Amino acid sequence: MAIAIVDYGMGNLHSVSKAVERLGYEGIVTGDAAEILGADGVLLPGVGAFGDAMAHLRGTGLDAVVRQAAAGGTPLLGICLGMQLLFGESEEHGRNEGLGILPGRAVRFAGGEYKVPHMGWNRLSFLQPDNPLLAGLEEGHVYFVHSYHVEPQAKSDLIAVTDYGHPVTAIVGRDNVYGMQFHPEKSGELGMALLRNFLALAEAKGSA
């Protein structure tokens, strides 16, 4: 089974690909449309600014490829900035249009008594304990680094939240599309278990 890790010039590609390999799967770092569309699962990582990331995706044509993979039923997981890109827009550095696969927007933390960026280990609260992404798992801590957080339009897309002065979107999902605001590959046993569950979903889809 092959997992495509989308290379559009802005992502923690090495750590994600190594995590996939540690879990016993083949991770292909690629910007090739055919490889992405032919994969059993797709990972969309991301670090940096939302607008820059979308500019890179549009410039390479990978925005359309990622949308096509999602529309075709391929399991897709956005990680950190990659999760935010799945949504309609972000207010980072002015309004920037996202992939629009899921309805909602990324907004900046208000700050105040809480430091921005939100950086460190925070506990997940599961809102959909029966979701297959959470199969066999218990609530625990994962590692976040972000200044913007997603406000999904549909509350049914929320799988898990964390608390940082208010409930913060941590995991989203709808059909074959998932997102994790934190870095699963840097989040210890729980993070790797979440990534393993996603890869198992991709494997099941590929063998169906």
| Residue 185 bears catalytic tag | yes
Q: For residues 206 and 208, what is the distance between their CA atoms, to the nearest angstrom?
A: 6
Closest alpha carbon to 83 in 148, 165, 134, 15: 148
Break the chain into its structural domains and give their ranges.
Answer: 2-207
Out of 56, 118, 149, 183, pick the active-site residue: 183
- What was the pLDDT predicted at 153? 97
Out of 21, 56, 80, 97, pick the active-site residue: 80
E strand segments, the chain: 2-6, 26-30, 41-44, 76-79, 87-90, 96-97, 102-108, 118-123, 125-126, 141-146, 148-152, 158-163, 167-174, 177-180
Out of 97, 146, 185, 203, pick the active-site residue: 185
- What was the pLDDT predicted at 132? 96
Q: For residues 131 and 198, what is the distance between their CA atoms, to the nearest angstrom?
A: 11
Per-residue pLDDT of the chain in tens (208 residues, 90 and over written 9): 899 999 998 878 999 999 999 999 999 999 999 999 999 999 999 989 999 999 999 999 999 999 999 999 999 999 999 999 999 999 998 999 999 999 999 999 987 778 999 999 999 999 999 999 999 999 999 999 999 999 999 999 999 999 999 999 999 999 999 999 999 999 999 999 999 999 999 999 876 6
- What was the pLDDT predicted at 51? 95
- What was the pLDDT predicted at 208? 64
| Residue 149 bears catalytic tag | no
| Residue 80 bears catalytic tag | yes
Domain 2-207 architecture:
3-Layer(aba) Sandwich (3.40)
